[in-house]
Structure 1
């Protein structure tokens, strides 16, 4: 009789399967009004934004690919991606992952949950998977909605890359897809940091803000004159490294490093959060995190990971300084100019010419006399030269360059007027935007590698 009762109790005390716990946590998340609003906003707002901006006479030319929103529907999702990596995704991870454990502390429901599930490990896994699902749903909404808005409003047209070459609509679609997939790595890193903050800081509001604060700190770091190896080792570098997908050949080195670093941070922060969660004393209702535990178990391991990442990246890439050097800037500018010159030639209905025939070169200086032509800044001045078949005279055009620390530059035409001195060109069908007046480019930051 006693054995039968013990057997019945064992059956009753059976742990809840992970799949059932995951469904329960997912329903809890989706039932919150703020999560529902986020899902609705991510699936609707980007399409409306892209459609509205694409119909405006003035475009966000200070945003990467913003100047092409009139020309192709594939520019819209890239503009939204630039904004999302800076602001939207850090805030979304804060709202979801930063509160997934802290909510139980505020409500005082840990003991009830443990009695129902009977496994801290499964509780952690269910909550982490539910948060991951919602974050993926939000990111997918941003990507799909912005692409739909652009394609419906502007159309499925070619996209000019960051070296001036035209990507066919199919290639542009692949590039946009890969760009959005690449930012999943830093998004997961911020989500994992949010999980860690939610576990360590408990009901403190700092846990909810932690991913956004980390993202803000990384943005500030990108503005400082830090060595390239330090920039690449930051877990959010893939938020900007996707630029390299839109050059030919693609500049994949920084992007691959950024994705790997982001995934390593995601795994490490999640493992720290798991180790702390399963060791927590749930019998003490006041044990919801402490400053000392936050430093010892959270800040110090991640600081060590950052230091190790810097060392590994520096040793693996031989990256020194800013990575922005005179010859790289000249080569990138000349390549982009040659591609866009062909586009202007087609607009003006002139005889076609190839990049090889143009033999475009650039000579750049930075700052005043005696200043080394290296590093970011808005004081780059370049003269582009090219040759036309059958013409002895050498064509020249002047550009002022603003080069940012991540290698992106904006080339602003400074004459002659017939080439790049005016924002419109007069074509047989009417005035059209001059592709050589102002354009974006990208400098390969890593040392040159042999090409086969």
Structure 2
């Protein structure tokens, strides 16, 4: 009589080992290596080159200060990255991490080696997240290094005109990039979902970029505040509030929280679909109608829920840009920048309290309600100097974007807000009161008391 001894089942591969394997596979791809090289070198070259030019990208936030401080460079890089670079990076990394196995037909080999779909999903998601973090870190570090080497560690002018010390500017630049990680994770979750649900279809690879483009177009429209804040890409814009005094924390925290909710929900749905996939087929071109329906229902459900939650917080269904907010923002920025101009012209220093700056803003006609975005805003700023009876006035034309950012263009008198060069410690610079950027907080101001 013979006995047959069954071989013990092989243990499952730990997640850490599978993670290292997936990370090596990602980094071994030539396109990932090119992206790593570009993210760690291109921003430094770009920022250093632009900082040496006579013409600055003044249409980009903080672009007009690239001659004055090295800390403007990483913020200009962040503005570009949020619009174009980060969506494309998430598409290439997260949008292809599962689909690559479908194209190569290697799912069976991977399942035999790891023996756990759950561990495979965790390893691939963590590997993609690690590569994205390295890419984002490269963009931030490279942009800062290029600016500091080309211009130097100097104070930065905030969005309300107040001067940030180099240390404070460095901290807020770091926080701005950390806030941008939240919408990047949301796009990465969408990329994982597309890679799982659409298989070898190129739409899975394009999905994060297409979603990001749709959100950018939506942010350009005059949407209600609650809808604007409910979009996961809003955190690519809300970091602007870090550079005002006091910090506009409301929109910033809401934007980060919404983006993280989208990241968790999209990743969870991708995992749900992956664990229920049939791997017996030789190819996979998508998880079928059910996956597509679930993938379409997720953003609709999230948007509905977040809009419902944020509507009471937003306070109204309007744009959030009102006359009082615009007047306060313009008056505050003018007061800070007037002091900066005074110091550059070697005049006696005054404080904001001594200036008593006020602003009267409208949209050019009594028949037009002074609210909402547009390039037809007009503000008359008034101030008083100590010991001078006459009241000074200056006119500005404002172009206010739907997200609250505005550009104020001086319209006289020329001696105050006209274009002329001011000699500073870093060289001749345009009059700081000629043109300046500002930011209107879309949410209502918190009540005091």
Q: Same fold (TM over 0.5)?
A: yes
SS of corresponding position for 1:419: helix
SS of corresponding position for 1:217: helix
Q: Distance in 2 between matches of 1:24 and 1:295?
A: 30
In structure 1, the partner of 2:368 is 371
CA contact (8 A) 1:281 1:287 kept: no
How much has 1:185 moved relative to structure 2? 0.5
In structure 2, relative to structure 1, the CA distance for the partners of 1:218 and 1:423 (3 Å cut) is farther
In structure 1, the partner of 2:8 is 9
CA contact (8 A) 1:402 1:409 kept: yes
In structure 1, the partner of 2:189 is 192
The answer as to 2:50 corresponding to 1:50 is: no
The answer as to 2:160 corresponding to 1:163 is: yes
Task: Spell out, residue by residue over 1:20-57, the C-alpha distance to the aligned partner (whole angstroms, 9 max, x if none).
Answer: 00000000000000000000000000000000000000
SS of corresponding position for 2:393: strand
The answer as to 2:400 corresponding to 1:390 is: no
The answer as to 2:317 corresponding to 1:320 is: yes
CA contact (8 A) 1:403 1:410 kept: yes
CA contact (8 A) 2:311 2:317 kept: yes
Task: Spell out, residue by residue over 1:131-171, the C-alpha distance to the aligned partner (whole angstroms, 9 max, x if none).
Answer: 00000000000000000111111110000000000000000
In structure 1, the partner of 2:241 is 244
In structure 2, relative to structure 1, the CA distance for the partners of 1:423 and 1:196 (3 Å cut) is farther
In the superposition, the TM-score normalised over structure 1's length comes to 0.97
Task: Spell out, residue by residue over 1:93-113, the C-alpha distance to the aligned partner (whole angstroms, 9 max, x if none).
Answer: 000000000000011111111
Q: Distance in 1 between matches of 2:195 and 2:435?
A: 46
In structure 1, the partner of 2:214 is 217
1:10-409 → structure 2 map (5 Å cutoff)? 10=9, 13-290=10-287, 292-409=289-406
How much has 1:285 moved relative to structure 2? 2.2
In structure 2, the partner of 1:418 is 415
Structure 1 runs of 4+ with >6 Å offset? 1-4, 426-430
Q: Distance in 2 between matches of 1:245 and 1:145?
A: 21
Q: Distance in 2 between matches of 1:224 and 1:25?
A: 41
In structure 2, relative to structure 1, the CA distance for the partners of 1:448 and 1:428 (3 Å cut) is closer
> Which runs of 5 or more residues in structure 2 are unaligned?
none
Task: Spell out, residue by residue over 1:379-419, the C-alpha distance to the aligned partner (whole angstroms, 9 max, x if none).
Answer: 00110000000000000000000000111000000110100
Q: Distance in 2 between matches of 1:423 and 1:111?
A: 70
CA contact (8 A) 1:319 1:447 kept: no
How much has 1:62 moved relative to structure 2? 0.3
SS of corresponding position for 1:5: coil
CA contact (8 A) 1:324 1:375 kept: yes
In the superposition, the TM-score normalised over structure 2's length comes to 0.97
SS of corresponding position for 2:233: coil
Q: Distance in 1 between matches of 2:238 and 2:142?
A: 22
How much has 1:369 moved relative to structure 2? 3.5
How much has 1:2 moved relative to structure 2? 8.7
How much has 1:318 moved relative to structure 2? 2.3
RMSD: 1.6
In structure 1, the partner of 2:444 is 447
SS of corresponding position for 1:418: helix
1:427-446 → structure 2 map (5 Å cutoff)? 431-446=428-443
In structure 2, relative to structure 1, the CA distance for the partners of 1:427 and 1:106 (3 Å cut) is closer
